[in-house]
Amino acid sequence: MVQTFKHQSEYKVIGSRPVRHDGFDKVTGRAIYGGDIKLPGLIWGALTRSPHAHAKIKSIDTRAAEKIEGVLAIITSKDMPETEDKMVDLGEGDENPRWTSNKLMAQQKVLYKGHPVAAVAAVNRYIAEHAATKIKVEYEVLEAHNDVDSALRKDAAIILESLEGDDLGEKIHNTNLAKHEKYEFGDVDKAFTNATYIEENTYTMQMVHQGYIEPHNATAFWDEEDRVKIWTSTQGAFTARTALSNLLQLDVSRIKVTPCEIGGGFGGKIPVYLEPIAALLSKKTGRPVKMMMERTAVFETTGPTPGGKVWVKIGADKEGKLIVAESKIWFEAGCNPGSMIEPAAQCIYAPYDIQNTRIDTYDVIVNKPKVAPYRAPGSPQVAYAMESAVNDLCEKAGWDPLEFRMSNASDKDTRRGDGVKFSVIGTKEVIKATKNSKHWNSDLGPAEKGKVRGRGISHGYWFNIGLKSSVNLNVNKDGTVTLIEGSTDIGGSRASISMQAAEVLGIPAEDVRPSVVDTDSVGYTDVTGGSRTTYATGFAAWEAANNLIVEMKKRVALYFDRNHKDINFESGVFSVEPDIENEKPERNITFKEIAEKIDDDDLGGPVNSVGSVDLESAGDGFGMHIADVEVDLATGKTDVIRYTAVQDVGKAIHPSYVEGQMQGGAAQGIGWALNEEYFMQDEGGMVNSSFLDYRMPTSLDLPKIETVLVEVPTPLHPYGVRGVGEVPICPPLAAVGNALKDALGIRFSDLPMNPAKIIKAIGN
Amino acid sequence: MHPFNYVAPLTVKEAIDILEKHGDRARPLAGGTDLLVQARGNKWDLDAVVDVKKIPEAMQLDVSNNGLTIGAGVPCYQIYDHEKIKSDYPGIVDGAFIIGGIQIQSRAAIGGNLCNAAPSGDAICPLIVYGATANIAGPSGNRDVSVEDFCVGPGKTVLKNGELLVSISVPDPPSGFGAAYERFIPRNEMDIAVAAVAVSVTLDNSGTNFESVRIALASVGPTPIFATKASNSLQGKPINERSISEAATIAKDESSPISDMRGTIEHRKQLIEVITKRMINKAIKRARG
C-alpha cells in the first residue's frame, strides 16, 4: 500500500543549510577513502589486460611472471568460481553473474580493449604491475564492432556466442542484438496522416564516461573460515555484497563490505570490478590484497553510458497540439547485454501529453566496455533527440518553443511512453518558473566581433527510484542521536538524511550524528543511485525518528509517572496535561533533558529505534534548462556564457546540496554536449583515455550556473522530497544544441558538437 | 614500471657521465611532469632518472643586454613571474603561462617541454620565433643548436647519447620587435593545442613595414614547424590586411596536420590561418608598444 502525505508549510530544520557532517574530515583530508586502506601484511594485485577489442585467447603463459621475485599468486578465468546463468537485481539495473564473471576475467575471448585476462598478486604494487606485463597471452584477433550499425550488420562477427537475443519476444541466436522491445499506444500511423506539421531526424552520440575523480579501488581479505572482508569505493555496499556473493559463490553473510568515502560515482561505482579479483588473490595467498585502477583502465574498462542512435518523428496538428510521436532507440550495451533502453523509453516523451506514441528500443552488443549507470541512464540521449525535434517542429510551424512545451505539458494522470501514468508532477510549474526566470527575461546581449550568440531551452526528466533502506537511531546521554545508515554519502546525504530525523525529533541537525557503516552493522540498504537516497533513506530516518519518539514517550511516562498515551511531543518538548483527578500537575521536558536522565534513572535502558522502507518511486522529476552560447565563427569554439537550471525538487531538504546537484548535472551535460566522447580507433579501443584528452569541462569552461528551485511536493514522501541528482544532466545536450541552432541556424544532430564539427558545418 | 634510481648530480659533467653510462635507460628529470607520466605509462624502461635541478647552469635565469638565458630546469612560474621577462619577452611568457595549471607550472620547465619534443609543446614555437638556441653539453663537448632544428620527430630530438640540454639562450630583441603565441583548445585551460601559432615581427623605423618576421606552427606536423615561406613572404612588406592574409594562407599550406582525437585536418588548417592572422596583428601591436 502506498502511503500519502499532506505537508506542513513551515519547518525548523528542513530547508536550512547546516554544514555537512562529513565536511570537516573531507576538507582536511582526514576522511578515509579506499586508497587510504592499509592492513598488516597487505600485498598488491595487478591485472594483465587485453590490447585488443575482440580476440580469441589462444594461450596464456604465466611461467615468466611466476619466476619474478615477490610474485605470490597468479589467477586467470580458470580460478573464477562457476557462476549461475540467471539475472540478479542490483537495484539500478540487473545483471547475469555468468556474463559479469566473463567481463571481469576473460574466458575464451576478449570482448573489449583492457579486458582482464589474468591477475597477479605480489609483495608491492610495482612488482605486481611489472609481473602483469610478463604474462604472455597469444591472441587471434577478430573483427571489432564499435557501434550499433557495425554490430548489427548481417555479416558482423558474433561477439557473445552464447547470447540468446530477444526480438519482440522471439528468441534469436548468432546475433549481436540482445533485445528489441516495443511500446505502442493509440494509433500512431493514423495520427501522422492527421498531423499538419511533422519533424523527423536521427541523432547520434558516442559513449561518455562519468569521469569521477577517484579511480576504482578494492582491498580484500579472505580468511581461513571463508569469511571475506572488502573495503571499497562503492555506491552500494549491499549491492556489492550481492554481486560478490554471486561471483564468488559465497553466502551473503560470509561477505562484509565496508564502504569507504567515495570520490564520485554518478552510477559508475555500482558494479564491482576489482573486488572479486582482489578477493580471489587473497584466497590464494592468505594475505590482504589491494588493487587500484589507473585512469586509463577507468576509462577503458568501467562505466560509460551508451552511445548509439535515436530516430525521432513527431507530428502536431495545426493548432499546435502534439498528437503523435514515434522513435527508435539503438544503444550500445558494451560487451554484455543491458544498455539503458528501458529507462530511455520511460523518459523520451515524459514531458509531454501525447495520445499516440510508439517506441522501439534495441540493446546492442559491441566491443566496448559494458555500460554502467550514469546519472539518469538513457535519458539525456533521448532528451537530446526529442527536445531538438520539438524545437525544429516549432521553428517549422512558427510556434514559440516555450509556449508549445507549456500547452503540451504532461500532468497528473498523463501516460508516459511506456504506459505508466503520473502522480502529482511539476512539469507546468517548471515551465512557468522558466518563463518567469531572470535569465529568460534578459537579453542575449551583443556578441563580440566575429562571434554569434544563441539561446536554447530543453526539458529533462527522470523518474527517480525508491527501493529499500534501513536506519537505526540511538539516543546519547548528551541529547544527541547517532544515526546509523547504509547509504554511501556522495552528495551530502549524511546531512539531508540527518536533517529529516532532526526535524521529527525537534533537535538541531548538528545533534544528529550520522555514520555510514558496513553491511554487518545496519539493515539492507540499496544503492546510492537513482536519486533515491535523500528520498528513501531519508524516509527511513523519518520513520525511525517517529519510532524513537514513541520510545521516548514511554520513558517520559515513567519519569513523570503517567501513561505514555497521554504524553505529547511538539518542537522537541514532551509534555503532559495535568491529571486533576489524581492530582498530577502539568509537566514538560525537552528531548535533551530526558536524554540526560535515561542513563541515571531507572527508565527502561538505552533508547533506540529502527526505520525500514521499501518504496516504489522517488517522485517524478522534471527540469528545464536555458543555455546561452557564443560561437567563434573562425575557430568553431563555443562558450556557454549563461546557464540556468530550473527544476521541480519536491522539497529541498538542504537547498545548497540541491543546487549543487543541479549545477553538477548541468556541468556534466554541457561537457557531453560540447566535447566529451569515447574517441575510438577503427580496430576498436578508446584512444583518448586520459583526463587530458577526454576533455571534460573545467571550472573555467562554465559560467556560474544559476538555479531555480521549484517545489511541488510529492504526496509519496513525508516532506514531499523528489529525487534531484539525475534530472539536471538530461536537458543540457539539447539546450546547448538548440542554442547553437539559434546562433548559427544549423541543427547539430551528432554529439559532441565540437569545434571541428561546427567549422565543418559553417563551411558547408 | 619497476623501481629505478633517482640521481641528482651537482655538475653537468656528472650528469653527462650517468646519462652516457645508462643510454636509453636513463632520462634527465627537470619538472618531471611529462617524464613521470611516461614512466608510469611504460614508455620508458628506466634504470635512473637524472635530476638536473641541483646543477647551477641548469637553474640559471638571467636577463641582460646580451639576451635571456633560461636554465633547462627552470620552472614556468619563474619565467612568467619575472618582471623583466614579462616586459621584454612577452611571447615567451605566452607559452610558459599556458602549460598545465598552477601546480604543473610550479614544476614544469621550458627546457623539459623542448626535450619532450611534442608537436604541441607550448614553449617551443615562442622560442623559435625569438631565434633561441639550445645549449647542449655532451661527452664530446658542448654545441649549440637552433631551437627550430632541435626537434626531429614526435618525442625525438637531436640529443645524442649522453647529451644534456643545459640551457636556452634567447637573443636580446632588437627595437621594433614584438612577438606573441596562442593556441586553440576547445576548452579554456588545461588542454593540448589543436593548433597553435607563434609570430615575431621586427618593424622598420617607420613602424609601417615588416623588416623581418618569424612564424612557427604547433600541432600541425610531426614537430613544431618553423614556417619559413610564410615568414619570408612578409619580409620588407608593408603592414596591411592583404600581406597578413597572404602570409596566413602560406602558413596554412606549410602545415601538414593529421586527423586524430584532438582535431581534424580541415579544422587544424583553418585554425592555422586564423591564428596566424591574429598573432601577426598581436605581434605588431606589441612591437609598436
If asked whether residues B166 and B182 sit together in one domain, one would say no
Cβ–Cβ below 8 Å for B261 and A700: no
Chain B closest-CA separation from residue A687 CA (Å): 7
Cβ–Cβ below 8 Å for A698 and B262: no
If asked whether residues B188 and B162 sit together in one domain, one would say no
State how far the Cα of A203 lies from the Cα of A185, in Å rounded to an integer.
23
If asked whether residues B163 and B183 sit together in one domain, one would say no
Domains recognised in chain A with CATH numbers: 23-31+466-616 (3.30.365.10), 34-144+213-301 (3.90.1170.50), 429-464+619-764 (3.30.365.10)
> Taking 70 as the threshold, does the pLDDT of residue A2 lie above it?
no
> Taking 80 as the threshold, does the pLDDT of residue A1 lie above it?
no
Residue B6 within any structural domain of the chain: no
Nearest CA in chain B to A762: B267
If asked whether residues B86 and B160 sit together in one domain, one would say yes
If asked whether residues B195 and B282 sit together in one domain, one would say yes
Strand blocks (E) in A476-547: 481-485, 512-516
Residue B211 within any structural domain of the chain: yes
Query: What residues contact residue B82 under an 8 Å CB cut-off, 6+ apart?
Result: B61, B63
> Taking 80 as the threshold, does the pLDDT of residue A618 lie above it?
no
Q: For residues A186-197, give the mean pLDDT.
A: 98
Domain boundary among B145, B170, B195: B170
State how far the Cα of A414 lies from the Cα of A620, in Å rounded to an integer.
12
Chain A residues inside the 8 Å CB shell of B281: none
If asked whether residues B153 and B194 sit together in one domain, one would say no
If asked whether residues B128 and B105 sit together in one domain, one would say yes
Q: For CA atoms A560, A562, A563, A567, give the dihedral sign.
A: negative
User: Tell me, what amino acid is at A351?
Assistant: P
What's the pLDDT tens digit per position in A537-565?
A: 999 999 999 999 999 999 999 999 999 99
> Taking 70 as the threshold, does the pLDDT of residue A92 lie above it?
no
Residue B42 within any structural domain of the chain: no
**What values do phi and psi take at A357, rounded to 5?**
-140, 150
Nearest CA in chain A to B190: A692
pLDDT at B272: 98
State the pLDDT confidence band at B42, using cuts at 50, 70 and 90.
confident
If asked whether residues B76 and B141 sit together in one domain, one would say yes
Percent of chain A topping pLDDT 70: 99
Closest Cβ–Cβ partner in B184, B186, B192 for A692: B192
Residue B1 within any structural domain of the chain: no
Three-class SS of residue A385?
helix
Chain B closest-CA separation from residue A127 CA (Å): 7
Q: Residue B123: which domain range?
A: 57-170
Q: Are A396 and A197 in contact (CB under 8 A)?
A: yes
Closest Cβ–Cβ partner in B40, B192, B261 for A679: B261
State the pLDDT confidence band at A67, using cuts at 50, 70 and 90.
very high
If asked whether residues B231 and B158 sit together in one domain, one would say no
Cβ–Cβ below 8 Å for A692 and B1: no
The enclosing domain of B268 has a CATH number of 3.30.390.50
Structure-block grid coordinates of residue A456: 536554447
Average pLDDT over all residues of chain A: 96
Residue B48 within any structural domain of the chain: no
DSSP one-letter string for B80-149: HT-HHHHHH-HHHHHHHTTSS-HHHHTT-BHHHHHHHT-TT-TTHHHHHHTT-EEEEEETTEEEEEEGGG
Q: Are A669 and A662 in contact (CB under 8 A)?
A: no
Chain B closest-CA separation from residue A756 CA (Å): 5
Residue B159 within any structural domain of the chain: yes
Closest Cβ–Cβ partner in B191, B264, B274 for A756: B264
Chain B closest-CA separation from residue A234 CA (Å): 26
pLDDT at A764: 65
Percent of chain B topping pLDDT 70: 100
> Taking 90 as the threshold, does the pLDDT of residue A118 lie above it?
yes
Structure letter (DSSP) for residue A526: -
For Cα atoms B282, B287, B289, give the angle at the middle one, nearest 5 degrees. Answer: 95
The enclosing domain of B116 has a CATH number of 3.30.465.10
Half-sphere exposure of A557 (CA within 13 A, CB side): 15
Domain boundary among B170, B185, B206: B170
Mutation pick from A120, A127, A635, A757 vs chain B, by most beta carbons of B within 10 Å, is A635
Nearest CA in chain A to B261: A679
What length does chain A have? 764
Cβ–Cβ below 8 Å for A763 and B263: no
Percent of chain A topping pLDDT 90: 93
Nearest CA in chain A to B184: A635
Chain A residues inside the 8 Å CB shell of B187: 675, 695, 697-698, 700-701
Residue B242 within any structural domain of the chain: yes
Structure-block grid coordinates of residue A22: 562529513
Closest Cβ–Cβ partner in A635, A695, A759 for B187: A695
Find the helix packing angle between A755-763 and B265-288, rounded to 10°. 100
Cβ–Cβ below 8 Å for A760 and B264: yes
> Taking 60 as the threshold, does the pLDDT of residue A51 lie above it?
yes
What's the pLDDT tens digit per position in B137-183?
A: 999 999 999 999 999 999 999 999 999 999 999 999 999 999 999 99
What are B's interface residues with A at a Cβ cutoff of 8 A? 1-3, 40-42, 184, 186-192, 194, 260-264, 266-267, 270-271, 274-275
Q: How many CB pairs under 8 A join A and B?
A: 67
Chain B closest-CA separation from residue A135 CA (Å): 15
DSSP one-letter string for B46-87: -SEEEE-TT-GGGG-EEEETTEEEEETT-BHHHHHT-HHHHH
If asked whether residues B153 and B74 sit together in one domain, one would say yes
Chain B residues inside the 8 Å CB shell of A674: 186
> Taking 70 as the threshold, does the pLDDT of residue B48 lie above it?
yes
Chain B closest-CA separation from residue A611 CA (Å): 47
State how far the Cα of A676 lies from the Cα of A692, in Å rounded to an integer.
11
Q: Which residue in this structure is represented by grid cell 494522470?
A: A413
CA distances from B26 to B31, B51, B72, B185 (A): 15, 11, 17, 33
Overall pTM surpassing 0.80 (yes/no): yes
Chain B closest-CA separation from residue A52 CA (Å): 17
DSSP one-letter string for A52-119: SSSEEEEEEE-HHHHHSTTEEEEE-GGGSPP---S-EE-SSSEE-HHHHHHHHS-SSEE-STT-EEEE
> Taking 80 as the threshold, does the pLDDT of residue B1 lie above it?
no
Q: For CA atoms A529, A531, A536, A538, give the dihedral sign.
A: positive
State how far the Cα of A422 lies from the Cα of A619, in Å rounded to an integer.
9
What's the pLDDT tens digit per position in A368-410?
A: 999 999 999 999 999 999 999 999 999 999 999 999 999 999 9
If asked whether residues B200 and B271 sit together in one domain, one would say yes
Domain count, chain B: 2
Domain boundary among B152, B170, B188: B170
State how far the Cα of A582 lies from the Cα of A575, in Å rounded to an integer.
17
Query: What residues contact residue A652 under an 8 Å CB cut-off, 6+ apart?
Result: A15, A658, A709, A711, A724
Chain A residues inside the 8 Å CB shell of B42: 133
If asked whether residues B73 and B100 sit together in one domain, one would say yes
What's the pLDDT tens digit per position in A670-702?
A: 999 999 999 998 888 999 999 999 999 999 999
Chain A closest-CA separation from residue B24 CA (Å): 19
Is this prediction's ipTM beyond 0.90?
A: yes
Chain B residues inside the 8 Å CB shell of A636: 267
Residue B13 within any structural domain of the chain: no
